[in-house]
A and B are shown apart, each in its own frame.
Chain A
Amino acid sequence: MKIYPITAVSVLALALSACSSEQAGSATDAESLLTDDWSVIQEAAQGQEVNMYMWGGNDNINTYLDKWVAPRMKEQHGIELTRVPMNDAQDIINQLLDEKTAGKSDGSMDIIWINGENFKAAKDNDLLWGDFTGQLPNFNDYIDADAPEVSQDFGEPVEGLEAPWGKAQFVFVHDESKHETPPKSMAELADWVQEHPGQFTYPAPPDFTGSAFVRQVLYETTGGHEQYQQPAAEIEDLEQRLEPMWQYLNSIEPYLWREGETYPESLAKQDQLFASGEIGMTMSYDPALAASEVLKGRFPESTRTYLLDGGTLANTHFLSIPFNASDKAGALVAINELMSPEAQTAKLSPENWGDLTALELEKLSPEQQQAMNEVNLGEATLSIEELEQNRLPELSSDYIDIIEKGWTEHVAKE
């Protein structure tokens, strides 16, 4: 009972001090954060309340942030980290746009978790704060800033506007006890689908995973990814180049689940079909998803993941700070902490999340490397080496829009 008034007073004092510091020209303060020493930033971050807006659809990710990250943030940096769940990263952009329209300068979001498509929209509309990654010690120590998967996000130059948080890679998921030799190329997949009618399908784009599957088809049926490294508008015969992809997708359609009359509207639905045995294969842009589904008992124990012989799509996902974040110093410190080897190692475990690390393994100390290698990824997950050796770069986001629209026209309507 005695503690209560003291906490109340200190909370009040904190709130007052926060107010007064903000009134003293928050704009200039924010600008100087981009050049200040790290110790100054850490001091400014003390006692700040950082709101992290992110997709909230996965229990493991939520638990990792609430139970693992938040307490450490409080203990080590005096930062109150609050996770705000959103349905879709698109909603974050919408809300930021609304805040910008309303001229709100002390925004509700301090950290946002976005992906390539949304990053481009956010960047094009000046919704992000500034070139901050150079300020983060963990970024400078453990990240290769020139590596293509860090300097670009779905083909869009990052320019320090967002910091890498983790990596994901496209994998196929099958039940080893049912099909011993899964198809490892698109040609093999076409044969497999014909031999097992009704056993394969993919989520309808614009579902994130379904859209990635279509891009995977694009790479294999139209002669590799290299040709798409320039902006879509610069390829004159793009329509014709995409044609083999639509032909392929339409050629397998009669043998798909429900004869391609309809497609699962989300990955969750597709996973449910797999879990109930109605289809024999599913897919994921999260290499450890199958392992954690096995842990939960939804997928059979004999579930395994595999890659295509030609490699699969991989991307990096990023954390960013909105233009109007109220607690930018706290956001910087929190993002730096999320990129620490400890936090990244904990994140790697399928019990927490199973997300691949964003850090450059060679830059870690031997002990840190060992800690990361010792994480048990689960039997269903491929080794990090195998994943890393078979990565293909993502397309830039202008293609994704063309492909998703084209899919409705060429495949769904046919």
Chain B
Amino acid sequence: MWRKSKPYLLLLPAAGTIILLFFGGIFDGLLKSFGYFPAIGETQLTLAAYDRLLHSGSFWESMALTLRIAALSSLLSAVIGALLAVGLFFLTDSMKKATPKAWYRLFQLPLTIPHLVAGYIIVLLFMQSGFVSRLFVAFGWIDDITDFPVLVNDPFGWGIILTYAWKEAPFVALMLYPVLSRIQGSWREVSRVFGAGNWQFVREVVVPVMIPAWVIATFIVFVFTFSAFEVPYLLGVTYPSVLPVYSYQLYTSGTLADRPEALAVNMILAAFTILLGLVAYYFSKRWNVLKGWS
């Protein structure tokens, strides 16, 4: 009995804290999004905040921008990540042990950098008065720093997409690489025996093996970029802003009256994220990504 329940009991303090703080916070936010806030004398539950939100143009513009940025960032990092993983796989295949390991470590490096720092690095590098722009002027490729294309705080969100591509591509690559590394060396030889070139080997063996993990990794990146705050806050434009920033602007607007709306935005974000999570989970079950293959 003790042996069986011991792991669960040991997990209890950590799990309890997480449940209390995480779900407690979500529940509290949900209540407040319905306008329930006893400390300021509001005790009635209404859907007014959601109603106002769904009828406001700013909300839908934010939604469109958020979806566009999340879709483009996840697609871009998925493609780059897949190329990196395949490249890493062939490196391992053709070289001695030490070199691919060094490359592998190099790809791990961006994972250790916080998103806020990554965003700031992009600001410092790619702003019109940034490092790259000044370098271009110094080399005479452009006449003035204002000739440099606007990549940071641009209405399309290139700066944000760039940051995510740089941050998440290695994440995708490192999700895929362990899957690829299980392709046995003999398979390559067998494919050669049957006359397959490198390209055919990739198409017929590597890609099919990679796809399930790749789709899941892309899902994760999409959900993350969809609900992330700091990078769009730092690199976005004043208007329109992505949903998490929009929520922050409402929440900090000074009046308590806007809070239900701010929290309603968060609830919509959370609901959407859960929905996407369920979809990802469904596919992962179906394709057995979690169990792997043998």
Q: Which residues of A contact B (CB under 8 A)?
A: 88, 90, 97-98, 100-101, 117, 121, 124-125, 198, 204, 206, 258, 261-263, 265, 273, 276-278, 397, 400-401, 404-405, 408, 412-413
The contact sample of 26 A-B pairs, CB cut-off 8 A, is A98-B39, A101-B39, A117-B254, A124-B40, A125-B40, A198-B146, A206-B249, A206-B252, A206-B253, A258-B150, A262-B153, A262-B237, A262-B238, A263-B238, A265-B233, A265-B234, A265-B238, A273-B129, A276-B127, A277-B129, A278-B128, A278-B145, A397-B254, A400-B254, A405-B253, A413-B58
**B167 CB → nearest A CB, Å:** 20
A204 B238 Cβ-Cβ under 8 A: yes
Closest 7 CB pairs of A and B: A262-B237, A278-B129, A412-B239, A204-B238, A276-B129, A101-B39, A97-B39
A-facing mask of B113-152, CB < 8 A → 1, else 0?
0000000000000011100000000000000011000100
A206-B254, A401-B255 are known contacts. Are A261 and B40 too (CB-CB below 8 A)? no
Question: How large, as a class, is the contact surface on chain B?
Answer: 20 to 34
Q: Which chain B residues lie closer than 8 Å to A206 at the CB level? A: 249, 252-254
Q: B127 contacts which of A100, A263, A278, A408 (Cβ < 8 Å)?
A: A278
Q: Which chain B residues lie closer than 8 Å to A401 at the CB level? A: 253-255
Complex CA distance for A262 and B145, rounded to whole angstroms: 18
Q: Does B155 contact A (CB under 8 A)?
A: yes
Complex CA distance for A204 and B145, rounded to whole angstroms: 24
Complex CA distance for A206 and B241, rounded to whole angstroms: 14
**A326 CB → nearest B CB, Å:** 19
Complex CA distance for A261 and B40, rounded to whole angstroms: 38
A-facing mask of B216-257, CB < 8 A → 1, else 0?
000000000000000001101111000000000100111110
Q: Which chain A residues lie closer than 8 Å to B236 at the CB level? A: 262, 265
**A330 CB → nearest B CB, Å:** 26
Q: Which chain B residues lie closer than 8 Å to A273 at the CB level? A: 129
Complex CA distance for A404 and B253, rounded to whole angstroms: 8
**A402 CB → nearest B CB, Å:** 10
A97-B39, A273-B129, A278-B127 are known contacts. Are A90 and B238 too (CB-CB below 8 A)? no
Q: Which chain A residues lie closer than 8 Å to B58 at the CB level? A: 408, 413
Interface centre among B38, B127, B145, B153 (most CB of A within 10 A): B153
A408 B239 Cβ-Cβ under 8 A: yes
Q: Which chain A residues lie closer than 8 Å to B253 at the CB level? A: 206, 401, 404-405
Closest to B134 in A: A276
A-facing mask of B52-95, CB < 8 A → 1, else 0?
00000010000000000000000000000000000000000000
Complex CA distance for A101 and B39, rounded to whole angstroms: 5
Q: Which chain A residues lie closer than 8 Å to B238 at the CB level? A: 204, 262-263, 265, 412
Q: Which chain A residues lie closer than 8 Å to B153 at the CB level? A: 258, 261-262
Complex CA distance for A405 and B146, rounded to whole angstroms: 31
Q: Which chain A residues lie closer than 8 Å to B128 at the CB level? A: 278
Q: Which chain B residues lie closer than 8 Å to A258 at the CB level? A: 150, 153
Q: Which chain B residues lie closer than 8 Å to A198 at the CB level? A: 146
Complex CA distance for A304 and B154, rounded to whole angstroms: 31
**B254 CB → nearest A CB, Å:** 5
A97-B40, A100-B39, A278-B128 are known contacts. Are A261 and B254 too (CB-CB below 8 A)? no
